[in-house]
Amino acid sequence: MVLGVLLVLIGSGVAYAQETPLVDARQQNQNARIREGVASGEVTRAEAKKLRAEQRNIRRTEHRAEADGTVTDRERARLQRKQNRASRDISRQKHDRQDRPRAN
């Protein structure tokens, strides 16, 4: 019986996690862009902190949208707008000519 319950929980978790695969893939891409910007010095620590907070906000929005088991078109559009804004913010921070000082 316990095994049955575990299988149901695992199965529902897989369905839950795959409700927004495009959002998840884009989140990974944006997180990689932030890491690359920090590594190259194009993004300062303060900028990275703000960009990561923006990514956390998108993740929270995604979890709330998935909470009832269905992500509506309106919720998808909201997530896309937030991701578009975050993408622009990452680009702006990477190209704002404000570099992190490098260690010698």
Q: Is the pLDDT of residue 36 over 80?
A: yes
- pLDDT on residue 7: 62
Q: How far apart are CA 34 and CA 13, in angstroms?
A: 28
Distance in angstroms between the alpha carbons of the first and the last residue of the chain: 61
Question: What is the rounded average pLDDT of the residues 68-80?
Answer: 95
Taking each continuous run of H as one helix and of E as one strand, the counts in the chain are 4, 0
Share of the chain above pLDDT 90, in %: 72
Torsion of CA 51, 55, 58, 59, to 10 degrees: -160
Name which of 62, 38, 40, 39 is nearest 52 in CA terms.
38
Q: pLDDT band for position 6 (50/70/90)? A: low
